[in-house]
Amino acid sequence: MYRYLSLGFGIFILLLFVTTGIAGLGFQRLAMYYPVTVSLIGTLLSLIYVIQQVNQLRKPVEASREDPDMLPFDKAFVYLAWFIGYILLISVVGLMVSTACYLGVFLYFQAKMRWWGVLISIASALLVLNLISQVMNLYWPRSLLGW
Amino acid sequence: MLRKGLILVSILLLAVSTLFAAGGAESRDGSADTFYTSRDTLEVIVSWSAGGGTDTIARLMAPYLSKHIEGEPGVQIINVAGGGGIQGHNEFALRRRPDGTNMLFSAGSSQIAYLLNEPGIRFDFRDMQPAFGVPAGAVIYSNPQAGVSSVDDLLNPSEPIRFGSIGVASTDAIVLLAFDVLGLDVQTIFGYEGSGAIRVAFEQGEVNINRDGTIGYLGNVLPLVEDGLAVPLFTFGQVRDGQVVRDPAFPDIPTIAEVHERLHGVPPSGDTWEMFKAISSALFTLEKVMWFQKDAPAEAVQAVKDAGVKISADPEFRSHAQSIFGPYELIVGDEIESAVHDMLSALSVEVRNEFIQFLVDNYGLSPRSAEAQQ
Amino acid sequence: MFEAGLEALTLILQPARLGFIVLGTSIGMIVGILPGLGGAVGMSVVLPFVFGMDPYSGMALLMGMVAVIHTADTFPSVLLGIPGSSGSQATIMDGYPLAKQGQAARALGAAFTSSVVGGLFGAVLLFATVNFARPLVLALRSPELFMLTILGLSMVGVLSRGSALKGVLAGVLGLLLGVVGGAPAVSEYRFTFNSIYLFDGIPLPVLALGLFALPEMIELLIRDTNIAGKAELTGSRLQGIKDAVKYRWLIIRSSFIGVLVGMVPGLGGPVVDWIAYGIAVRTSKNNENFGKGDIRGVIAPEAANNAKECGALVPTMLFGIPGSSTTAILLGGLILMGIEAGPRMVSTNLPVMLTIIWTLAIANVIGALLCLSFAGLVSKVSLIPGKVLVPFLMVIMVVASYQSTRHWGDVITFLIIGLLGWVMKSIDWPRAPLIIGFVLSTPAERYLHLSMSRYGFSWMSFPIVIVIAVIVVVILLYGTAGKKHKKDTPPPGGGYV
């Protein structure tokens, strides 16, 4: 998995550099030099990197070298989904409600907190958030419902 | 367990939303005879981050506004930075309600972006009404050790005249036009980070002619002038009734019109000169303007306009303002209406297109049209 | 000069002004501790109060806050692996591994001691050089600034130990991300997808948060433990202070670097911690433990970033060039009090300048003492189970990143960069080079363009340019040579930050 991800990421940035290089050619002359040069260097280096990674894949797998400290992927995606869900919720119903829901559900189901612990956590989090936002003039993300 | 959780979530949702409904129910009390009450908050959008020149002036004015607007509402400065000042203006035009609680403080750099129809602009000053304006001045000065020691050297400098600029789509554009009016041969170096960096480059001799606003000049350049490291050449003056008059902050420094006469024997005239005056009045004579939306309640606009007149006469404000934007009078009352009207009518689409064409042809501005708004 | 200095001290030692310093310091502490909030937020909090104050009191409030942000921002960097502000990323490299080993208190003790020494050293150096600093800055024209940018970029080589290719690629990726936004030379917006949000480029705080915080939070959740990975903490504040005393020369050296880099206008203020860190790695004996919890990796950046705030006052106060959003607001505050930054700061306004220096020194001491006294307690954060801690952190991250420009783009960028950071972490790509490339991208393009359009190719023969070029070459060669004999023992995954 580690090696496939390395190769995949290599190919991704190779394509990225190629794209930015081509897009860069459309800029005015003085705005073009720099991004095109950077993209060109990036393209060359990432090409070398991709070739290295392909060679790695061809080699027989050494058990000890495979997946050094690799964290499980599926789990990472689940947690990432939690984050994205939270942010999507904010965009609809606003920071306060989403934070209450997110903290509540996460602490209850994931952290296996008792329900009263969850309630106390949420209440204190919302309180602190309001307090700090007041003192520091913080702004909350705008939401569709405008809360 | 799942059921318990769902119940928990719904209770929470309910509790939180009640809390919010209660908070949101607080509304304005319009029964008093003044439009604003001390419980209202007037929000002034400043499209740059805190600490910049425009922000500083807005913050200086805020307490005086609060004091002089009838009903004494709170006045809060809201920084909406981004997009070189365009973002805050767009937000004001598109998203802020025209209910008299929102104002916009524009400045030279957003006014030039509007003139040049920069990408991303979604606002139009013609859809706004002014409450009052703040004038500013500009001084052009040179480095005597790098070739230009007086106005007379301008046409035959011993070293090429070099001007440092942050970019063509900035208030520097009018300096480029000024050089054209005077018929000077100037090499412009674009790409500096800001006026401070350009002043350093000026002291180093990397560039040898520079422009500064009144406050920047008084604080940073005057000490150099006293040491003989800089020489003031001319000011842009102030445009009054179509005439360029001396800048009240610099009564001893000639205006661009006087310098033209000295260099070429005749006062400036013609299309380029008219264009210069129109743009100069938009960028300096009205350097900063406090706006309402067109649909804002007339009582609100009148209340702030009246406050402008009172602020302008407040001796405490006058002494405080002296050190922040120089010895200029605020443009208030009916004067601001006519000044903005003159500015917008002088800046017809033709003039703006002409200006854009000048910058496209000579300074690599990306081609666009002034008309393609929205 | 000394008399004037003492006079300024009596000005500042009045009870009311000392009160303002303490107030400013407290606000700075809160801003520093909350991840992602930088000086700009704190400044906009105190700015309304500055209105109408006399300059000495106002400066006491403002500078008190500025001085301690980089002391307090060590807490999240060490304890959570999340940059407390964009100036304290390098501390993560070794501070966070130390916290993972249960030695958070030790790391914090060493960090705060280095911070206060760095801050004091910076203040002294500033006092000593304030009269000569103008010619120093004036010696740096565009070509010299360009070469200094290159010097900064050469740190990429130093910081990508183990795999040069990955490090350099990450650096180039950073350069590319830095291109987003308006071009310096002409009016053209690049790679903005017609979104006004990107016109000014990606905000650095958002980038730093995404790159470092999000991957750390995911890892913490997956490992399902607390940060310390065990039930009790070892290592004490006292041990950390002893460490700092032991490496006193490293502190002095890093402080010196901090002041110097801070003095250079328009350059790498935000990467000074990385530069100090890189140099510490390069010049230390037995450096194989860097990145895995070497206390020197905490000491060097912490000394440097406090000292930087002193150096940064030179371009800010003497030239009116704001080096960061914090100093920009400082300038605004000065103007509100009726003082324009500029050459007069060392003539007519010298008393104000000297009060500023004193405030820096006093606030640094107060801040470090406050932080030290809390360190033991706060380090218990590393005992909280990850699954309880992370949801709260996530809330803070979202709110904090939104403060950068108050646009939804901030949150979305945070998420996208976070994804990038997580992939990079998973496949052992160093992330420090990306930050360095990003920060130095615009200066590199700007000063190269200015040099070429003003001097043609002749700038390449300027003496300072040549000297810096030689230094760059030496660093790069030395960096490669240093790498060779370590090639057999690649550090295990996750060893880099």
State whether B252 and B327 are in the same domain: no
**pLDDT(C146) > 70:** yes
Q: What is the pLDDT of residue B21?
A: 43
Integer Cα distance of C496 and B53 in angstroms: 42
pLDDT for B18 equals 45
User: Nearest C-alpha of chain C: how many angstroms from B120?
Assistant: 6
Instruction: Tell me, rounded to whole angstroms, the distance of Cα C444 from its chain centroid.
Output: 19
Tokens of C130: 């304030």
- Residue C471 scores a pLDDT above 80: yes
Are the beta carbons of C41 and A110 separated by less than 8 Å?
Answer: no
Nearest CA among C356, C335, C351, C336 for reference residue C59: C356
Answer yes or no: are the C-beta atoms of C358 and C351 closer than 8 Å: no
User: Residue C406: which of B50, B80, B203 has the nearest Cβ?
Assistant: B80
Q: Which residue type occupies B224? A: L
Give the model's pLDDT for residue C486. Answer: 42
Burial of C168 (0-12, 13-18, 19+ CB in 10 A): buried
Q: Which two tokens stand for residue B314?
A: 């407040």
Domain of residue B84, CATH code? 3.40.190.150
The answer to the question of residue B127 being in a domain is yes
- Note the pLDDT tens digit of each residue in A43-53: 999 999 999 99
Decide if A108 and B8 are in contact by the 8 Å CB cutoff.
yes
pLDDT for the residue B10 = 53
Same domain, B55 and B78: yes
The pLDDT tens digits for C398-409 are 998 998 888 899
pLDDT value for C423: 92
Residue pairs between chains A and B whose CB atoms are closer than 8 Å: 31
B255 is a domain residue: yes
Which of C277, C280, C286 minimizes the C-alpha distance to C91? C277
Confidence band, pLDDT 50/70/90 cuts, at residue A62:
low
pLDDT recorded at residue C491: 43
Query: Which residues, 6+ apart, have CB-to-CB distance to B38 below 8 Å?
Result: B71, B72, B73, B74
Q: What is the per-residue pLDDT for B80?
A: 85
Return the amino acid letter for C356: I
CA atoms within 13 A on the CB side of C404: 29
Distance CA C327, CA C325 (A): 6
If you count them, how many residues does chain C have?
Answer: 497
**Whole-number pLDDT of residue C479:** 63
The last residue of a domain, from among B282, B313, B330: B282
A60 at the C interface (CB within 8 A)? Answer: no
> How many whole angstroms separate alpha carbon C343 and alpha carbon C138?
12
Q: Are B174 and B236 in contact (CB under 8 A)?
A: yes
Burial of B10 (0-12, 13-18, 19+ CB in 10 A): exposed
Closest to B200 (Cα-Cα) out of C425, C134, A62: C134
Residue A67: predicted pLDDT: 52
Q: State what percent of residues in chain C have pLDDT above 90.
A: 42
Q: Which residues lie closer than 8 Å to A128 by C-beta, 6 or more apart?
A: none
Averaged confidence pLDDT in chain A? 88
Give residue A103's pLDDT band: very low, low, confident or very high (50, 70, 90): very high
Q: What is the pLDDT of residues B109-125, one digit of tens each?
A: 899 999 898 888 889 99
Integer CA distances (angstroms), B256 to B229, B247, C113, C333, in order: 22, 11, 58, 33
Tokens coding A96: 């306060």
Tokens matching residue B216: 């920047």
C-alpha span between B359 and B346 (Å, rounded): 19
The DSSP output letter for B232 is: E
Per-residue pLDDT reduced to its tens digit, C45-79: 887 788 778 888 888 898 888 888 888 989 999 99
Q: What sign results for the dihedral spanned by CA atoms B287, B290, B293, B296?
A: negative
CATH number at residue B224: 3.40.190.10
CB-based contact B59 C142, cutoff 8 Å: no
Closest-CA residue in chain B for A29?
B364
Which residue type does C413 have?
A: T
The per-residue pLDDT for C381 is 86
Chain C residue at shortest CA distance from B90: C196
Q: Percent of chain B beyond pLDDT 90?
A: 47
Asked whether the predicted pLDDT for residue C487 surpasses 60, the reply is no
Q: Are A141 and C401 in contact (CB under 8 A)?
A: no
How confident is the model at residue B19, as a pLDDT?
Answer: 44
Is the distance from CB of B242 to CB of B277 less than 8 angstroms?
A: yes
Q: What mean pLDDT comes out for the span C284-310?
A: 90
Task: Taking residues C155-170, report their average pLDDT.
Answer: 84
* Domain finish residue from B282, B307, B338: B282
The DSSP 8-state label assigned to residue C86 in this structure reads T
Per the structure, the complete domain to which residue B46 belongs is given by 41-135+286-361
Residue B14 lies in a domain: no
Chain B contact present for A109, CB below 8 A: yes
Tokens representing A89 are 């919720």
| Total of domains in chain B | 2
Name residues 394-413 of chain C within 8 A of A (Cβ): 394-395, 398-399, 402-403, 406, 408, 411
Q: Does A107 touch chain C (CB under 8 A)?
A: yes
Q: What angle do CA C302, C135, C274 make, to 5 degrees?
A: 20
Residue at which a domain ends, from B237, B257, B282: B282
pLDDT value, residue C321: 84
Q: How far is C382 from chain B (nearest CA, A)?
A: 28
Buried b (16+ CB within 10 A) or exposed e, B337-351: eebbebbeebbeeeb
Residue A30 is nearest to which of C387, C398, C449, comparing CB atoms?
Answer: C449
Provide the pLDDT confidence category of residue A68 given band limits of 50, 70 and 90. low
Coil, strand, or helix at residue B12? helix
Cα distance between the two ends of chain C? 45
Is B105 inside a domain boundary? yes
Q: Which residue has the tokens 């309180």?
A: A127
Which helix (H) or strand (E) covers residue C51, if one does? none
- C427·A2 Cβ contact <8 A: yes
pLDDT (tens digit, 9 = 90+) per residue, C437-458? 999 999 999 999 999 999 999 9
For chain A, domain boundaries = 2-58, 73-136
- SS3 of B65, please? helix
| pLDDT the model gives residue A74 | 81
Residues B311 and B179 in one domain: no
- Interface residue ranges in chain B relative to chain A, Cβ cutoff 8 Å: 4-5, 8-9, 12-13, 16-17, 19-20, 364, 366
Give Cα C96 to chain centroid, integer Å. Answer: 16
Distance between A10 CA and the closest CA of chain B, angstroms: 32
Q: Which of C34, C97, C43 is nearest to C325 (CA)?
A: C43
Residue B118: strand, helix, or coil: coil
- Tens-level pLDDT at each residue, chain B (374 residues): 444 554 555 554 554 444 444 444 444 444 457 889 888 889 999 998 877 788 888 988 998 999 999 999 989 888 888 777 888 999 999 888 999 999 999 999 899 999 898 888 889 999 999 999 998 889 999 999 888 889 988 998 889 999 999 989 889 999 999 999 999 999 999 999 888 899 999 999 999 999 998 888 888 899 999 999 999 999 999 888 788 999 999 999 999 999 999 999 999 999 899 999 989 888 888 889 999 999 999 999 999 999 999 999 999 999 888 877 788 889 998 889 888 888 888 788 888 999 999 999 998 888 888 775 44
Cβ-in-10-Å burial (0-12, 13-18, 19+) of C335 comes to buried
Look at residue B2 in the predicted model and tell me its pLDDT.
Answer: 45
Specify whether B170 is located in the same domain as B111: no
Distance of CA C27 to the CA centre of its chain: 18
Q: Which two tokens stand for residue C382?
A: 């590393």
Q: How far apart are CA C174 and CA C179, in angstroms?
A: 9
Angstrom distances, CA of residue A88 to CA of A106, A141, B56, C215: 15, 11, 36, 19
Neighbouring CB atoms inside 10 A of B70's CB total 18
**What digits encode the pLDDT tens for the residues B213-260?**
888 888 889 999 999 999 999 999 988 878 899 999 999 999 999 999
